[in-house]
Structure 1
């Protein structure tokens, strides 16, 4: 869970490490690879232990057929971790072009080509999905009232496969309005973050 705190431009803000400038992948084929992240205000990867918890939940859910959307990608920590653990396709959406460019460079360093969309999440969701996604990471900037509308659009505009999993991360104390049919399967709190994993009920 890459983490945005307060950002000055809403979705334009990413997530970065406390001064090390490195993202460490913690599992899968790229385990222990260190990747550079930009020196960017408010940007840092989610702590390893929190990411490890999330991907333990997802251990039996990710394989070569899994299509992943990392909607507020920041450093790309979640999408890259899913890729490392065997996801077949990962789309990264990051509004800040410098941060998006670093995701592309990190993918190149891993000898992988995946789509990186340098645009705001709302603009991306204005496009038409070619295929629905099986796993979506929704980790927007905190305290900017972005998450409920984003989740409704994912549900209503064809972005989600039947039985899709949706990771939702919010500030502690916030309970966003989510679509009917999303069932909470796991949740945990870490610092000022509340991490939830939902499964979309099959039609």
Structure 2
């Protein structure tokens, strides 16, 4: 069972697609959101959740003060679950897009404060790197962060030159990278 951890919708249960997704554990979600709140990236933010699955990451951001959330999911079944979760919460600032991450990012970019990218662990490293490069090409605010979750077994991807690693943390089988635009002079986000 997946629940919203904190904020306006704290404790509300989210539906999970029956197959084809790997929900982020509560422990990892709590760690990600503690970091983002510490960096003051959630209040009144614009968020994109790529490979959204149930929408848990994007909707946790909504619960914690995000103004607008785009949930992007290629699976029609999972996208329906995202839509059901949005409706159950009554959150008006979300839009569900039934597209691949690459197709969504090929559209007109709008700068975001946070982009979550939690692709299937079997997604090829080259595709992950290509999508990260698309995010860097107009989708991040100067202070924004790309939060990428991958299997710890795959090693670190080769990041596009437009991005630099702000931080990373391993949680068992999962590694989370926090990436920022490389053009930032020393990190715009201070701990």
Coarse TM-score class (shorter-chain normalised): 0.7 to 0.9
- Find the partner of 2:131 among 146, 150, 154: 150
The runs of at least 4 aligned residues of structure 1 exceeding 3 Å deviation read: none
- Find the partner of 1:57 among 31, 35, 45: 35
- 1:88 and 1:35 map into 2 onto residues whose CA distance is 20
- Find the partner of 1:108 among 84, 87, 93: 87
Quote the residue 1:68 is aligned against: 47
Alignment TM-score, normalising by the size of structure 1: 0.82
Alignment TM-score, normalising by the size of structure 2: 0.86
Are 2:10 and 1:31 aligned? yes
Unaligned runs of 5+ in 1: 1-21
| 1:44-85 C-alpha deviation (Å, 9 max, x unpaired) | 421111111111101122111x11010110111110110100
Are 2:115 and 1:136 aligned? yes
- 2:103 and 2:41 map into 1 onto residues whose CA distance is 28
Unaligned runs of 5+ in 2: 186-191
Superposed CA RMSD in Å reads 1.6
Q: Answer whether contact 1:103 1:116 (CA < 8 A) is retained.
A: yes
How many residue pairs align between the two structures? Answer: 178
- 1:39 and 1:168 map into 2 onto residues whose CA distance is 23
- 1:74 and 1:38 map into 2 onto residues whose CA distance is 7
